[in-house]
Amino acid sequence: MKIKIDISTPEPNSNKYQQPTICDKACEFMELIKDGEADDYHFNYLKNLYTKLNKKQNLPRHLAELMSKLTEFLSLHEGYQSGEDQLDLEGVDIFKYD
d(CA 97, CA 61): 9
Is 70 within the bounds of a domain? yes
Q: Is the pLDDT of residue 85 over 50?
A: no
Is 92 within the bounds of a domain? no
Number of domains into which the chain is organized = 1
pTM attached to this predicted model = 0.63
Which residue range forms the structural domain that includes residue 39?
22-76
Q: What pLDDT does 59 receive?
A: 85
Q: What pLDDT does 4 receive?
A: 86
Is 44 within the bounds of a domain? yes
Q: What is the pLDDT of residues 14-67, one digit of tens each?
A: 556 778 889 999 999 999 988 888 888 888 999 999 999 888 888 888 888 999
DSSP per-residue codes, 15-79: T---PPPHHHHHHHHHHHHHTT---HHHHHHHHHHHHHHHH-SS--HHHHHHHHHHHHHHHHSTT
Is 50 within the bounds of a domain? yes
Is 87 within the bounds of a domain? no
Contact of 75 with 95, CB cutoff 8 Å: no
Is 46 within the bounds of a domain? yes
Contact of 59 with 97, CB cutoff 8 Å: yes
Is 41 within the bounds of a domain? yes
Q: What pLDDT does 95 receive?
A: 53
Is 60 within the bounds of a domain? yes
Q: What pLDDT does 82 receive?
A: 47
